[in-house]
Amino acid sequence: METKYETDIERFLGFDPATLYEAAGLRGMVDPTIHPSWAGAQICGPAFTAVCPPGDNLMLHHAVASAPPGVVIVATLGSYMLTGAWGEILTVAAQSRGINGLVVDGAVRDIEAIAQHRFPVFSRGLAIGACTKERVGKLQVPIVLGGATVSPGDLIFGNADGVVVVESARIEQVYEAAMARQGREAHLMDQLRAGKTTLELLKLPPLIESEVAGQ
């Protein structure tokens, strides 16, 4: 039997981050410097959050060990960029447990191996530095990820365009608004192909003569 997680993931995979962001009322955009670590990575699923002290990834190991299948691990490391908090070992561990991906406000490593495993990872960048595994952080608490608040269970969606957070309490509302927006955009593109201009369709203001080049 399909779980609610699987149902939400299947429904939302047909959208893009910008559509969801606008359908949510311009809420939930993650700092665009947090981006896919390999070309073609796409991520979708409910958030399982982790807070790690800078330079220490103990809580990521605990997150992988305790997270249910279908979730996206969403972690902060205080934006610390000198250590790779996630690599091939955690990737294999996460895939074996059915975890859908990682979004981390920090750096990762082993990215070529991660790409070969086709495991979606979104991060600020890469670093070969080794993490300690000693300091306790937190699991399943609200966090701030690249300027966006993420609570456990919020939907995380990301692709090459960026990452967006959809609050769990607003999933149905955002889904309906995204469907409507997608329909409007399809109609708009049909009209563009028929010869209309964006100026007409979007009712954009005309230029006055003094604004035209050469006047």
Q: What is the CATH number of domain 4-168?
A: 3.50.30.40
Examine the pLDDT at 4 and tell me if it is beyond 80.
no
Examine the pLDDT at 215 and tell me if it is beyond 60.
no
Helices 171-193 and 4-12: angle between axes, nearest 10 degrees: 20
- Decide the pairing of beta strands 121-123 and 72-76: unpaired
pLDDT digits (tens, 9 = 90+) for 84-103: 999 999 999 999 999 999 99
Instruction: Give me the pLDDT at residue 5, please.
Output: 59
Q: How many CA atoms lie within 13 A of 208 on its CB side?
A: 1
Q: Give the whole-angstrom CA distance, residue 181 versus residue 178.
A: 5
The residue ranges of every structural domain in the chain are 4-168, 175-211
